[in-house]
Structure 1
Amino acid sequence: MNNLEHTGTKIAKLRRSSGMTQEELGRHLSISAQAVSKWENGDSLPDLPLIVKLANLYDCSTDYLLGREGGLTSLIPQIREAFHQMELTERIGFLEKMITLAEGPVSTTPVHSEGHASLVHIHLGPTGLGLWAKDRLVCIASPTFLEEAVETLSTEAEFPFTLLSDEVRHVLLILLRNIDDLKPYYAVDEETLRTQLPASVDLERVLTECIELGFVDRVRGGYRLNFRADLTVRLLAMIHQMINKQGSMNVTVGK
């Protein structure tokens, strides 16, 4: 496909997706519908000023319209410049779109509230953790960071995990699934739990406490964290890592 055909195809696709006719696009650009038709048929190219107007109208880059295949990396300077000029809410909205594009198949049942204006979306799988609440929060964590955060909890526990007893914390960590193997029917039997906890721990009492807290479900084959608890432990581990790891936190207060 030559440049004329490539650009014409892109213009036609953008025009149709916006619900415009060739006449309507022509009026936006102060040209005739016949000129738009010639672009889309690959008979001519828009002049440079009109390429810029098209990019602004359809919120795309001129590179996209002209068929330059430079990859996403080539857009980083433009994204960086625009990002620093955005308001905080605009940055969150942009990152929300990136999470939506980057997410893979959801490996577990996501938490959601159907029809709610601030729908929470969660992706948890081998590519890491992505979480956003529309207009409120964006959170991305790589598998490496999640694993490091969880490993830290096996040897030490500061706030916020001091809100839980050591016994409950140990049970939650044992039941936490490997992020590369998020099987829906994962469970740990009671004998395995006993072998991984100190002999002094009253396992029945601790499991009862975990179940009452809403963290653990008793299922066929043993015990498992429910999805909300699995996510909560990982998020608490991330908070623990960020606020307690020396030299790792950079805080900006105010504008």
Structure 2
Amino acid sequence: MAGLSDIGVKITRLRKSEGLTQEELGKRLAVSAQAVSKWENGDSLPDLPLIVELAGIFNCTTDYLLGREGGLDSLLPHIRETFVTMTADQKIAFLGDIITLTEMPLPSPPLESDSHPSLVHVQLGPVGIGLWAKDRLVCIATTTFLQEAIETLRGEADFPLTLLSEETRTILLALLRNMDDLKPDYAVDEVTLRSLMAHSENFEDVLTNCIELGFVDRVRGGYRLNVKGDLAVRLLAIIHQSVNKRGTMNVTVGRP
């Protein structure tokens, strides 16, 4: 009964989070403000039909209100059933909400509340890469997938890698850091880069082109990919792996 004794606390918290008074909540349930007050003080419990209505008003489950702690796994059957009826936009919005809950603090200042809703958020670190825009995009790649993608990148040149010359790819991949060592002072010396392109007569031109593209910086100790270049190479790897790796691809023509 410990869970039932907490229902009043939960109703109070949820009611306040929705900005409702006891009277306003009572009107929506066709009960008095005194009845709501008794629930919140633990003097009585709402009837079962009202618990269902409360769950609808607060957008939560009846299990939550009744104190059943089944964990997130207990929600999976309902999520699977609901996903079948959701549009692609609804699925992306839902996954975006989940990703936002798991977002780790970034070193940059938080975005203002009135920022444009389509601004892209990027998380690049030892746990992988997360990239999302609230209204249109969700992308998650674990370190395992990224490492596999990068290794494939070193040996193959299918689309979209054919957009870059082999020499440019060689330099960009040589400057790509390990996910667990994203140090800002990371650099590869020129001797090492030249050794990787010993067969090329255009080393200087290729390196200059990479710098002019805005992906490579000349720093003390040699050269390194800047943040933009690092992210671009990894995203190319993700696209390459997704498009060319054996798997299942569903294509819908017209309205789904």
Tell whether the structures are fold-level matches, with TM greater than 0.5: yes
Report if aligned partners of 1:242, 1:249 keep a CA contact under 8 Å in 2: no
Partner residue of 1:250? 249
Greater displacement, 201-210 / 231-240: 201-210
CA drift of 1:159 comes to: 0.8
1:60-139 correspondence runs (5 A): 60-106=60-106, 115-139=115-139
CA drift of 1:73 comes to: 0.8
Q: Where in structure 2 are there 5+ consecutive unaligned residues?
A: none
Rounded Cα–Cα distance in structure 1 between residues aligned with 2:231 and 2:108: 11
Rounded Cα–Cα distance in structure 1 between residues aligned with 2:187 and 2:68: 50
Partner residue of 2:29? 29
CA drift of 1:222 comes to: 2.2
CA drift of 1:201 comes to: 5.1
Rounded Cα–Cα distance in structure 2 between residues aligned with 1:220 and 1:5: 64
Partner residue of 2:40? 40
- Cα deviation 1:76-122 (Å, max 9, x = unaligned): 0101111111122111110110111122344x769x89822311111
Rounded Cα–Cα distance in structure 2 between residues aligned with 1:22 and 1:221: 66
Rounded Cα–Cα distance in structure 2 between residues aligned with 1:188 and 1:43: 70
Q: Where in structure 1 are there 5+ consecutive unaligned residues?
A: none
Greater displacement, 3-12 / 190-199: 190-199
Partner SS, residue 176 of structure 1: coil
One-letter amino acid of the counterpart of residue 235, structure 1 = L
With over 3 angstroms needed to count, the CA separation of the structure-2 counterparts of 1:232 and 1:158, relative to structure 1, is same
Rounded Cα–Cα distance in structure 1 between residues aligned with 2:180 and 2:6: 40
Identical columns (%):
63
Aligned length: 252
CA drift of 1:199 comes to: 4.8
What TM-score, normalized to structure 2?
0.90
Partner SS, residue 154 of structure 1: helix
Partner residue of 1:200? 200
Rounded Cα–Cα distance in structure 2 between residues aligned with 1:56 and 1:155: 54
One-letter amino acid of the counterpart of residue 143, structure 2 = P
- Cα RMSD (Å): 2.2
Rounded Cα–Cα distance in structure 2 between residues aligned with 1:196 and 1:229: 19
Partner residue of 1:140? 140
Partner residue of 1:182? 182
Partner SS, residue 132 of structure 2: strand
With over 3 angstroms needed to count, the CA separation of the structure-2 counterparts of 1:144 and 1:201, relative to structure 1, is farther
Rounded Cα–Cα distance in structure 2 between residues aligned with 1:184 and 1:237: 22
Rounded Cα–Cα distance in structure 2 between residues aligned with 1:52 and 1:161: 54
Partner residue of 1:232? 232
